[in-house]
Structure 1
Amino acid sequence: MSCQKASHRMRIQTAIFIGIAYCLCGCLDRQPKDWVDAGRLPGVWPDYNDVTIPPNIAPLNFLVKEHGDRYYIQIRSTLGRPVEVCSRSGAIKIPIKQWRQLVQSNIGQDLSIEVYVQASDGRWQRFMPLVIHVASDPVDRYLVYRLIRPLFMYVGRMGLYQRDLTSFAERPILLNTATGGNCINCHAFHNYNPDRMILHMRAGKIGTYMLMAYDGQVFKVDTKTEFNHATSYRCWHPDGRTIAFAFNIVRQVFHARGQTRDVYDRASDLLVYDAIGHRASTSVQISSPRRMETYPEWSPDGRFLYLCSGPALEDVNGMPEPHKAMRYDLMRIPYEPQSRTFGQIEMVLNTSQMGLSAAHPKISPDGRYLLVCISDCTYFPLYRPESDLYLLDLSTGRFSKAENINSAQAEGYHCWSSNGRWVIFSSKREDGECTHLYLCYFDKDGHFHKPFLMPQQDPAYHSMQVVVYNLPEFLKAPIRMSPRALVRAAWSKRILKTTLDPTVASRLRQPVEDVPYTSLGTR
C-alpha cells in the first residue's frame, strides 16, 4: 500500500514538474518538424542580426516581435551543442552556461539563430536565420557608467554603476542618495585601472569637491584655486600621476522651437593637476583668454595633449544665433613629462572652417586612430541630433564619418577597449531622448562593424526604463574600493586643498564677467 502511495505521489510530482516546465518554457517539443518558410528575417529587438560580438560577452537576449502563441529558438554553429530556448511571450532568455560553451567553441566563426513561431491555429513558421559573428578579440570584462534620468534642470536620483559584461551582474559604486542628493559626475580611471579613479561631486550639502581613489586610499580634494573654478572634464596622463582638467562656467539654454536644449560655456580653460603633490599648473597655450578650451585627452605615449578649442563668448555674443557660431576645433599641444612643460599649440582639425564642431576626442590605445563627435555647433553632442562619430587616422590624416555606427539621432561619449578592438558609445537612436550603450567591433584594417545594444538579462529592459547611460569607461578588473569608503570620504571634513603653481599665480588673469548669453533678438 505504501509503495502504491509513493508511486502515486511520484506521478503527481512528475505531472506538476512537467506543468511548470510547460508554463516556463512555453513548449515541450524540440525543434518543430512541420513548418512553413516565412521567407524573411524575423522581427526581433534589439537588432542583433549581422553583428560582431566579443567571445566573452553575456548572452544576447532578445524579443521576437512576431505574433504567435509559442516561440522556439535554436542557436547553432560549426562546433558544440546547439542552444534551444522556448517561450510563450517571445522574450528569449538564453541560458548563460550553454551560451558560453557554444560561443567559446566557435571563436572566429558565425552563430546561426533560427526562429520558429507557432500561430494560434497550431501551424509553425520558420524565419530566415539571424547571423552573429564571433570575433577572436575579447572585450574588457568590466564597464563603469553613470545612470541618470533625462532631466533638464534638476538633479534627480543618479549613481555610478559597474557592469560585468560577461554576465548581467551590475552593482553600484556610489549613489547620490548616500551623498545628500548631489550631482556626481565626470568619473575617470588611469589606464583601465580600477585602483586609480576620480569623480566629481557638485552642490548639495557636501559641496563641490573631487573624490580621488588612489592605490587603496580615498581623498576628498578641493580643486578650486585663485585661478580656476572647480574642475570637470578630465583625462589621466599615462604616468598615473598627472591629470588634465577643464574648468568651465557652464550654462544651459532653452530654445523656443526646434531642438529645445543646448549647453554653452561662458568661460573654459585647461589645467594640469599633480595627483601626488596636489598642485595645479597651466600654460597660456591651453588657458587663453581669447579661446575656450575643453575636453582634454592625452595621447597614449603622453607626449601630446589633445583638446577642443572654441571662440570666447564675447566673440559670438550679439550674433542672431550665438550658439550656432560656437564651433570647436580639434587641437593638440606637445608636452614634456619630465619638465612638465608645454610646447606650441597646433591645429589637428579645423572643424569650424568646415561649419562643424568637435567634442570628446578619444585616441585608440595604439595611438593611430582618433574617434571624435562632430556636430553642427557647441560642444555637447547629446543635445545635437546631428552629432555623429568621425574617425581620424593620425598616421595618414584621413578624416571621415565612421562607417556603420552612426544613426539619425545623436551619438555621444565613447571609449576604446584596452586592446583597441572595441568601442562603446552612447546613442539616442532608440527614441531620441534616452541614451543607451552600444558596443562596436573595430577590426585590424580600421573598419567598424555593426554595433549592438549592450545586452540585458531582461530583453525588454531598455524599452521599459527611462534612463540615460552616461560616460561609459572600460576596466580590466573590478573596483575594489567599497561604496562605504567613498561615502565616508565624501562626508569627511578632511579636505585636501589644491595649491597653484607660483608661476601661474604671478600672471593671474582678471575674473571672467558673468554676462548673460544674449542675441540680437533678445536685446
Structure 2
Amino acid sequence: MDYILKCLSAFLCAIYIAGCTASVPVDNVTDAGTAPEITPDYTGIVIPPNIAPMNFEIVNPGKEYVTRITGADGGELTAAGRVVKWNIDDWHKLLEANRGKTLDYEVYVKDDSGKWKRYTFSNTVAPDDIDPYISYRLIEPSYEQYALLTINQRDLTSFDEDVVFNNTLLNDDSRGFCINCHVPRNQYRDGSSQFHVRQFHGGTVLMTDGKVRKVNLKTDSTLAAGVYPAWHPTLNLIAYSVNTTKQRFFSVGDRKVEVYDTKSDMILYDIDRDEVRNIAADTTLQETFPAWHPDGKRLYYSVAAYPEGVGPGNIIEKYDSVRYDIVYRDFDPETYRFSRPDTIVNVASSGKSALLPRVSPDGRYLLYSMAPFGTFHIWHPESDLYVVDLETG
C-alpha cells in the first residue's frame, strides 16, 4: 500500500508540475489591447510583498491558457491552465525582489482556430509588509443558523488557517448561543481581544494580560450589553454601541431580509475599573459602529434620526428611510470626557446612509460603507466603499 501511495503521489506531483509550467507562445499571437477577465479581479492593484500567492481563474473562453508575470527588477513566473496557481516560494521570491516596483502580467488565450490572444495588465508591489494575520467568523451563508460557526485566524502570508474558538463544541438544544464581534487590540499586538456571547450564559468574553474573563456590560442605564466594539489605541477602554436589533423577512422581490435597529446608543467600558458609562443616549437618535482615531483623542461613529412619524415601535414601517451620517466626538484621555458631536460625513439628507467608519493608521483618511439606506449593508448589494481625506475634506 505504501508503494502504491508513493507512486500515486509522484504521479499527481508530475501532473501538478506539468500544469504549472508552460512556454509562452511566440507565433500566431495578436494583442487583445485589454486586460483579461479574471476572478478575483486582481488587475491594477497594489500587492503586499509578503502576501500569499494571489491565484486566479481566467474567465475569457478558450482552449489553452498560459500566464506569465515579469518583475521590473527581475524574476519571472509562468503557469499553464485556466486556473492559475503560483508556487508559494517562487511567488515570495518574485515579490521580495520587486518591492516598490511593477509586475507585468501577460495572459495568453488560445481559441478554437489555434490563434492566441495576448491580454496584459500591471500590478504594483508595495514597499512595506502587511500584518500577517486576520481573524473572522466562519459561518454558513445563512441568517438562520447561528450555532454552527467558528472564529478563525488566517495567516495572510500563506493559506494556513487555525480555529480560535469553536462555537459548535458547546452548543446543544438546551443551551444554544451565538458569538459575534471578535475584535483584537491590534495596535500593540499584546494578545488582548474580546467577543460577545448572546443567549445561553451571555456576556462579553474579555482576554487581557493573558487572562480570560466574562463581563456583563448591561446596566440599568443602558439598552443592552455591548455589541459593536472599538478598542482605545492606548488606554484600557472599549467603546461599544448597544443595539436592539431586529430582522424583517420578505416573501416577494429580490430582497430576502433586512436587519435593522429599533434603538442604539454608545457606551464606554473601563476595563481596569469594570465600569460602564454612557457616551451617547439620545432617544431621538440611533448611534452605532464606533471607531477611534489612532491617536485616541477622537471617536467616530454613525448616527441616524428616526424618520418623521416613526419611533422605536414602528420603525419597520419605514426601514428604507433610515439613513446615517458619520460624526465624531473629541475625547480627553485625562478626564475621559467627550465633546459634543460634530458631523464629518453628511449624506443622510441627500438620500444616502454612511456606516462603519475606519481611520487609516496615519489619521489622514476615513473609510466607510455607503448605501441608499439602512444600517446593515452586507445585505445591500448596492453598497460601496468610500474614503474621505480628513485634512482636505
- On whether the aligned pair clears a TM of 0.5, the verdict is yes
Contact 1:27 1:70 in 2 (8 A): no
CA shift for structure 1 position 160: 1.4
Name 2:234's counterpart in structure 1.
239
| Alignment partner of 2:185 out of 182, 186, 190 | 190
Matches within 5 A, 1:290-301: 290-301=284-295
Instruction: Quote the Cα distance in structure 2 between the aligned partners of 1:27 and 1:293.
Output: 52
Secondary structure of 2:181's counterpart equals strand
Higher relative contact order (CA 8 A, sep 6+): 1
Cα RMSD of the aligned pairs, angstroms, is: 2.9
User: Aligned partners of 1:211 and 1:264: how far apart in 2?
Assistant: 25
Decide whether the 8 Å contact of 1:37 with 1:127 is kept in 2.
yes
The residue matched to 1:282 in structure 2 has which SS? Answer: strand
Structure-2 residue corresponding to 1:249:
244
1:220 equivalent in alignment to 2:214 = yes
How far apart, CA to CA, are the structure 1 residues paired with 2:363 and 2:158? 30
Question: Is the Cα–Cα contact under 8 Å of residues 266 and 313 in structure 1 kept in the other structure?
Answer: no
What does residue 139 of structure 2 align with? 148
Match of 2:48 among 49, 54, 59: 54
Mapped to 1, the partners of 2:14 and 2:382 lie a distance apart of 48
Question: Which residue number corresponds to residue 39 of structure 1?
Answer: 32
Name the structure 1 match of 2:344. Answer: 348
| Conserved 8 A contact 1:209-1:221 | yes
Alignment of 1:108-119 (within 5 A): 108-117=100-109
Q: Are 1:394 and 2:390 an aligned pair? A: yes
Quick check: 1:74 aligned with 2:68? yes
State the match for 1:6 in structure 2. Answer: none
Aligned counterparts of 1:381 and 1:138: Cα–Cα separation in 2: 30
Relative to total residues, which structure has the larger strand share, 1 or 2?
Answer: 2
Tell me, which stretches of 5 or more residues in structure 2 are unaligned? 1-5
Whether the aligned pair in 1 keeps the contact of 2:108 and 2:119 (CA below 8 Å) is no
Give the TM-score normalised by structure 1. 0.66
Q: Distance in 1 between matches of 2:319 and 2:363?
A: 33
**1:258-407 equivalence runs, <5 A:** 258-283=254-279, 286-312=280-306, 315-317=309-311, 321-396=317-392, 398=393
Deviation at 1:198, TM superposition (A): 0.8
3-state SS of paired residue (1:322): helix
Equivalent-residue separation in structure 1 for 2:201 and 2:327 (angstroms): 33
How many Å apart are 1:329 and its aligned residue?
2.4
Number of residues of Structure 1 aligned to a counterpart in Structure 2: 377
- Secondary structure of 2:319's aligned partner: helix
Residue of structure 2 in register with 1:102 after alignment: 94
1:86 paired to 2:80: yes
Instruction: Give 3-state SS (helix, strand or coil) of 1:300's partner.
Output: coil
Distance in 1 (CA, whole Å) between partners of 2:129 and 2:20 is: 35
Change (3 A) 1:70 1:270: same
Q: Give the percent of matched residue pairs that are identical in Structure 1 and Structure 2.
A: 34
Pairing 1:161–2:125 present:
no
Residue aligned with 1:188, SS: strand
Q: Is the 8 A contact 1:26 1:70 kept in 2?
A: no
Distance 1:251 1:335 in 2: 31
**Partner of 1:166: helix, strand, or coil?**
coil
Change (3 A) 1:320 1:128: closer
| TM-score (normalised: structure 2) | 0.86
CA distance in 2, matches of 1:157, 1:302: 36
Structure 1: where are the runs of 5+ without partners?
Answer: 1-12, 399-523
Contact residue 72 and residue 84 of structure 1 kept, 8 A: yes
